[in-house]
């Protein structure tokens, strides 16, 4: 897929040509697939308002695209007044003119949603950077700069795009699964296998809208894992997800009978801990401007250290720092 960016007054427009692999799929599905920051619901809204057209014609969200269809997407100008900047200390791992990488704290939602309008990382990003022009606009009014997301309960490495070029380049890496993501978690019970693969379809729970579950009609999901250590009826694991479904690691952990310690939604009997024992530990990307390979590593948050210590694991506090490195060619 080749995406082209055009300036159009104070908005941004993008166009791409449908390939054979996407032919026959719904328009909103294809748009959401190629732009990781545009959800399917957001795509539907843009289609309804005429901001997404096919071959210069307005189509419905369920229109089945054809090979060589030209899809045009116009993202309206972000109105700064719609999101209130707030002062929040950001734990910055790395920053340059193109990207910002932070260590997200737990219990903070990434972007505004129902019930969370002025207490999100997006609000904090506007407070930190000063104006929306310092963030990419592809995510729309409520998600400026947001290339990918972490659950509200999950801490760790979060990547932010400062301009649209960076956003497109990074979104392509996520789409084609070129970005390497490593998470670490402490699970309930002893996991017998030292390493393995969890593969299932994930869908929203039929009766509890806050939960997701494995289901035949869901979206495919794949997670590789390896055991770091085992102590006191718990297992410390490293997850390497190949897909990025909502609650994927939490659902996969439950599906193998080992929920994450401290999970308030999926882990019965292990909810006495304040936060979830899950951290997005590292992220490996190709820099959108330089083409160099960067790896960003987040320090363990205090709650993870406390849970690990409680079960007998050891974390070297002196070495517990945010880090980044460039891979030599």
Q: Tell how far CA 152 is from the center of its chain.
A: 11
Mean pLDDT per segment of 10 residues, for the chain of length 329 residues? Answer: 47 83 93 79 86 91 94 72 79 95 90 68 86 70 80 92 89 88 97 96 88 90 97 97 93 96 81 85 96 97 95 94 89
Which of 151, 153, 164, 263 is the catalytic position?
151
Question: What are the residue boundaries of the structural domains of the chain, listed by start?
Answer: 4-75
Residue 261's closest CA among 235, 285, 299?
Answer: 235
In the prediction, which pLDDT does 7 show?
Answer: 44
DSSP code string of 129-181: HSSGGGS-STT-TT-TTBSS---TT-EEEEEEESSHHHHHHHHHHHHTT-SEE
- What is the per-residue pLDDT for 96? 95
Label residue 299 left, alpha or beta by phi (over 0 means left) and psi (-120 to 50 means alpha). Answer: beta
Predicted confidence at residue 68, as pLDDT, reads 93
Residue 241, CB-side half-sphere exposure with 13 Å CA sphere: 25
Amino acid 95: pLDDT: 96
Q: Provide the pLDDT for residue 81.
A: 44
**Range list of H helices, the chain:** 27-34, 40-48, 121-129, 164-175, 248-255, 302-310
Give the per-residue pLDDT at 115.
60
Q: What letter would DSSP give residue 151?
A: -
* pLDDT at residue number 33: 85
Phi/psi of residue 271, nearest 5 degrees? -105, 10
Is residue 151 among the annotated active site residues? Answer: yes
Supply the pLDDT for residue 5.
46
Distance CA 23, CA 66 (A): 5
CATH of 4-75, one of 3.10.290.10, 3.40.30.10, 3.40.50.10070, 3.40.50.1220: 3.10.290.10
**For strand 155-161 and strand 278-286, is the pairing parallel, antiparallel, or unpaired?**
parallel
């Amino acid at each position: 897929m080749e995406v082209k960016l055009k300036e159009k007054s104070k908005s941004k427009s993008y166009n791409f040509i449908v390939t054979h692999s996407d032919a026959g799929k719904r328009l909103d599905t294809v748009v959401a697939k190629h732009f990781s920051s545009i959800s399917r619901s957001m795509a539907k809204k843009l289609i309804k308002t005429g901001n997404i057209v096919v071959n210069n014609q307005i189509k419905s969200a369920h229109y089945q695209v054809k090979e060589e269809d030209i899809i045009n997407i116009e993202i309206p100008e972000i109105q700064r007044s719609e999101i209130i900047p707030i002062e929040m200390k950001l734990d910055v791992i790395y920053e340059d003119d193109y990207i910002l990488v932070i260590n997200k704290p737990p219990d903070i939602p990434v972007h505004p949603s129902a019930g969370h309008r002025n207490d999100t990382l997006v609000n904090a990003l506007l407070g930190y950077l000063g104006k929306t022009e310092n963030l990419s606009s592809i995510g729309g009014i409520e998600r400026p700069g947001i290339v990918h997301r972490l659950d509200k309960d999950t801490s760790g490495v979060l990547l932010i795009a400062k301009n649209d070029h960076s956003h497109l380049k990074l979104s392509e890496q996520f789409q084609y699964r070129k970005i390497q993501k490593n998470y670490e978690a402490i699970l309930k019970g002893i996991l017998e296998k030292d390493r393995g693969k969890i593969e299932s379809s994930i869908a929203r729970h039929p009766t509890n809208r806050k939960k997701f579950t494995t289901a035949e009609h869901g979206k495919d999901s794949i997670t590789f894992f390896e055991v770091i250590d085992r102590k006191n009826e718990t297992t410390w694991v490293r997850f390497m997800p190949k897909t990025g479904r909502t609650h994927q690691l939490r659902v996969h952990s439950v599906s193998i009978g080992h929920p994450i310690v401290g999970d308030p939604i999926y882990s019965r009997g292990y909810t006495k801990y304040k936060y979830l024992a899950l951290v997005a530990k590292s992220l490996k990307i190709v820099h959108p401007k330089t083409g160099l390979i960067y790896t960003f590593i987040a320090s363990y948050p205090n709650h993870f250290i406390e849970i690990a210590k409680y079960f007998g694991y050891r974390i070297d506090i002196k070495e517990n720092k945010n880090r980044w490195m460039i891979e030599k060619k």
